[in-house]
């Protein structure tokens, strides 16, 4: 038996100015998107903004539903919108943030497990990593260079090759 270890890497900063200029703009766009979320049940308005290789920015926000599981997270709204309108374009980065009425969210809001799985799918499809930047309303900003840091040992299409 061999004991193995997986290390994840991320960067943390207090200043959006430390991000690549394109990515700090993306975070601002995510903030704007968060403010437009439809989140009457949770009051937790999430925004996501992603940049394609051609520089286009596509945003999304969470869309809730009275039948709770019928809603969708901001990240998936943005990614599915991007992929449906620009199927062949590489996604470079995605920024995620939040807006609440009390403005008390001081820790970075990471993508949920289902959104991580979706990010992994599109990384796999485009064969290129997607930088992920996430922040709260104030406080630290975290950045990872690809989904592997948030979802090690992801299930992907290779695992389906069973025949």
Contact 1, 141 (CB under 8 A): no
Rounded to 5 degrees, φ, ψ at 51 are: -115, 130
Using DSSP, how many helices (H) and how many strands (E) does the chain show? 3, 6
- Beta-carbon count within 10 A of 86 CB: 15
75 is catalytic: yes
Residue 92: CB minimum distance to ligand THU, A: 19
Nearer to ligand THU, 69 or 87 (CB): 69
Residue 39: CB minimum distance to ligand THU, A: 5
> d(Cα 142, Cα 96) in Å, to the nearest integer?
10
Name the catalytic one among 75, 92, 121, 137.
Answer: 75
Q: Token pair of 2, please?
A: 């061999």
Chain residues binding ligand THU by CB under 6 A are: 39, 42, 44, 46, 62, 64, 71, 73-75, 111-112, 115
Positions marked active-site:
75
């Amino acid at each position: 038996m061999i004991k193995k270890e997986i290390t994840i890497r991320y960067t943390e900063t207090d200043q959006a100015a430390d991000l690549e200029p394109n990515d700090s703009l993306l975070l601002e766009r995510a903030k704007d998107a968060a403010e437009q979320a439809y989140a009457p049940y949770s009051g937790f308005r999430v925004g996501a903004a992603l940049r394609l290789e051609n520089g286009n920015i596509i945003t999304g926000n969470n869309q809730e539903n009275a039948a709770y599981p019928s809603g969708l997270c901001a990240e998936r709204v943005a990614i599915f919108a991007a992929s449906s309108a620009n199927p062949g374009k590489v996604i470079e980065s995605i920024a995620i943030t939040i807006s609440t009425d009390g403005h008390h969210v001081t820790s970075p809001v990471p993508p949920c497990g289902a959104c991580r799985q979706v990010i992994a799918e599109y990384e796999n499809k485009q064969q290129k990593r997607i930088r992920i930047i996430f922040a709260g309303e104030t406080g630290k900003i975290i950045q990872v260079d690809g989904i592997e840091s948030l979802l090690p040992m992801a299930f992907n299409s290779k695992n389906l090759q069973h025949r």
